[in-house]
Homo-oligomer: A and B are copies of this chain.
Amino acid sequence: MNTRGFHIAVVGATGAVGQQMLRTLEERDFPIRQLTLLSSARSAGKTLLYKGEEFTVQEAKPESFEGVDIALFSAGGSISKQLAPEAVKRGAIVVDNTSAYRMDEGVPLVVPEVNKEDLKKHNGIIANPNCSTIQMVAALEPIRQSYGLKKVIVSTYQAVSGAGAQAINEMYGQTESILEGKEVTPEILPVGSDKKHYQIAFNAIPQIDKFQDNGFTFEEMKMINETKKIMHMPELSVAATCVRLPIETGHSESVYFEVETQGLSAAEIKNKLKEAPGIVLEDNPDEQVYPMPAHCVGKKEVFVGRVRKDLDEDTGFHMWVVSDNLLKGAAWNSVQIAETLIEMELVKEK
């Protein structure tokens, strides 16, 4: 710990994203004066390492947030609903990685490369968007800035770690059983709390989160609504199909988009992506260079490739966007919001 810096709380510290938050804070050498690790009663008492020092995880309670400057929440929507207001009441700024507040007016929904100015309008809570939304808007924003944006149609290829540590275990367990010729009994995916469960090993499940009345899943509606909010484009046409695949980490997206500007080439789109913050262009068909989930794990950037112009629609383009869903899709974007709050002097050391 430093003698100066901030008092940071991580809520859901023992979870898949919480662990990544700790690693990211460490790697970024985040200015931490005091670190409070919180979880449900069930996980309280466990110890976790931060820069070689042991920390005991405590049960998250309203009083846990006394003196906290920034609280990073990633312990599920109901915990955020219950405790984020308590943290704010005690003077903390909350960066919430759940969907609890994302669409609330007065809660900025932020991808720093896209809309960090929105942080100025916060009322204590800042929402971290859905993992699949973050990587897509990060790739679309540099294109929109130069050429405008009219329409987006995305099909996702999402990893199981987005559904938590239990889903990862389920995938590997099923894979082993199938290799041994045994039957599998799915228990978690596609959605732990939904009625039916399906095999994920060697399969593709076109359901992430529960279905809404319009036939889209909640995950698909998150991508649609969050994209419009983050980009300040309520009129943008956005559609999504979200699919879970037997991949541990790394979400991929096949994105079709139409810009306002006519007569552009794929090379012009690639040039904008090459210069964009947080984006790595991996696009060389001659050398079979394109992004893949197996190559993105542990990296903070959003990788874009397979950029090509539609063969029929002059303003239409296709691209393939890949990112580590636990980092840019969750832990890193949250920590990046915290860093941006400091840079913009929206949080001050006490």
**Nearest opposing residue in chain B for A236, CB measure:** B312
Q: Does A332 contact B (CB under 8 A)?
A: no
CB of A198 within 8 A of CB of B306, answer no
The listed residue (B239, B245, B291) touching A157 by CB distance below 8 A is: B245
CB of A292 within 8 A of CB of B203, answer yes
A293-B247 in contact given A153-B256, A215-B306, A288-B196 (Cβ < 8 Å): no
Residues 194-206 of chain A: 1 if any B CB is under 8 Å from the residue's CB, otherwise 0?
Answer: 1110110011111
Docked pose: A286 CA to B198 CA in angstroms: 15
**Chain A positions 273-324 with a Cβ under 8 Å from a chain B Cβ:** 285-288, 290-294, 305-313, 316, 318, 320
A292-B205 in contact given A157-B245, A239-B312, A311-B224 (Cβ < 8 Å): yes
CB of B307 within 8 A of CB of A215, answer yes
A206-B294 in contact given A157-B157, A288-B196 (Cβ < 8 Å): no
Q: Does A241 contact B (CB under 8 A)?
A: yes
The bracket for how many chain A residues form the interface is 35 or more
Q: Does A71 contact B (CB under 8 A)?
A: no
Q: Does A211 contact B (CB under 8 A)?
A: yes
Q: Does A207 contact B (CB under 8 A)?
A: yes
Q: Does A36 contact B (CB under 8 A)?
A: no
CB of B204 within 8 A of CB of A245, answer yes
CB of A241 within 8 A of CB of B215, answer no
Nearest 8 A/B pairs, CB to CB: A215-B308, A155-B155, A237-B312, A211-B285, A155-B254, A203-B294, A241-B254, A196-B288
Given A151-B312, A215-B285, 6 extra CB contacts under 8 A: A195-B287, A202-B246, A214-B311, A215-B309, A241-B254, A243-B252
Q: Which of A's residues lie within 8 Å of B, judged by CB?
A: 151, 153, 155, 157, 172, 175-176, 179, 190, 194-196, 198-199, 202-207, 211, 214-216, 224, 237-239, 241, 243, 245-248, 250, 252, 254, 256, 266, 285-288, 290-294, 305-313, 316, 318, 320
